């Protein structure tokens, strides 16, 4: 049995993204075979692991089928499991999951609503949040104050914030009453820095009065998904996400307990990927 990095195993078991698990290891909250783990440790499915003093059940270490849900987050909820101020968390609103836990792919602050993706696959969450994959985040923003073309130009070319240069990859006006003090804009960016959308506008002397995330990568907020409700992606949609961040696609659910049929489907998926690559090369 091949050993793997400890953070990879625990991410797969749903304990958080790799970075979150690295922080747990640094805090001395992870044990391997009875000793406190350190960064760089490796383990396997037979290892005795515990997190925050709780033994990790063997079933959680087995690779679980990837699940992804879309959640229409309302205002007034935090995206952390525990809040020092006692505010309500999104995690009390989500469907229960067996042998794992929901990991949010990015966060939305207290007063931001809209699309939030959650998964039980820590590696998928880690890659979808990582800047190297450059997944777009799209927002509808209502701002209070005058927005000139000079301001829009600066937002497109770059604004110096406390943590570095930031900009929108796209910013454009949405239809609104020209005489109204509040105006709506559509913005797109490829980063997930803390309150980045709000800080970019505030750096121009404009206040954000409402912020809604409407898209993450290729996934848009479904029109019929009401606030506070969730919608699960099917296995084909999940595989599309896995493929987008260079993770292996998973077997169709009804074939997962039929090894021969699963292997045939795997070969078909590989052949389809090869044909797609060859077709793309011929078109160049």
- Residues with active-site annotation: 109
Task: Calculate Rg over the CA atoms of the chain.
Answer: 22
| Greatest distance between any 2 Cα atoms in the chain | 68
Rounded to whole angstroms, the Cα distance separating 17 from 79 reads: 14
Cα 262 versus chain centre, distance: 28
- Between the CA of residue 216 and those of 14, 24, 100, 149, 213, what are the distances in Å? 21, 27, 23, 27, 8
Rounded to whole angstroms, the Cα distance separating 19 from 23 reads: 6
Provide the 10 A C-beta neighbour count for residue 278.
10
Contact 31, 70 (CB under 8 A): no
- Between the CA of residue 150 and those of 153, 234, 254, what are the distances in Å? 5, 44, 56
Contact 172, 185 (CB under 8 A): yes
Say which DSSP state 107 is in: -
HSE toward the beta carbon, residue 177, CA cutoff 13 A: 5
- The values of phi and psi at residue 232, to 5°, are -85, 140
Q: What CA dihedral angle connects 187, 188, 190 and 194, to 10 degrees?
A: 20
């Amino acid at each position: 049995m091949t050993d793997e990095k400890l953070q990879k195993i625990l991410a797969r078991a749903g304990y958080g993204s790799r970075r979150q698990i690295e922080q747990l290891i640094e805090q001395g909250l992870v044990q391997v075979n009875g000793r406190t783990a350190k960064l760089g440790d490796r383990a396997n499915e037979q290892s005795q692991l515990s997190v925050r003093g709780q033994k990790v059940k063997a079933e959680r270490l087995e690779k679980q089928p990837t699940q992804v849900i879309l959640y229409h987050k309302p205002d007034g909820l935090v995206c952390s499991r525990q809040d020092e101020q006692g505010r309500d968390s999104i995690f009390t609103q989500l469907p229960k999951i067996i042998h794992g836990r929901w990991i949010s792919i990015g966060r939305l602050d207290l007063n931001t609503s809209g699309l939030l993706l959650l998964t039980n696959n820590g590696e998928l969450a880690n890659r979808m949040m990582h800047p190297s994959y450059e997944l777009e985040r799209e927002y509808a923003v209502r701002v209070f104050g005058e927005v000139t073309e000079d301001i829009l130009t600066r937002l497109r070319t770059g604004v110096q914030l406390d943590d570095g240069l930031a900009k929108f990859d796209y910013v454009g006006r949405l239809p609104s009453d020209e005489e109204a003090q509040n105006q709506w804009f559509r913005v797109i960016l490829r980063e997930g820095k803390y309150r980045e959308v709000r800080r970019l506008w505030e750096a121009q002397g404009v206040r954000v009065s409402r912020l809604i995330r409407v898209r993450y990568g290729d996934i848009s907020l479904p029109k019929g998904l009401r606030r506070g409700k969730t919608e699960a992606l099917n296995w084909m949609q999940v595989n599309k996400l896995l493929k987008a961040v260079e993770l292996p696609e998973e077997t169709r659910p009804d074939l997962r307990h039929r090894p021969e049929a699963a292997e045939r489907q795997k070969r078909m998926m590989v052949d389809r990927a090869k044909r797609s690559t060859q077709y793309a090369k011929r078109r160049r």
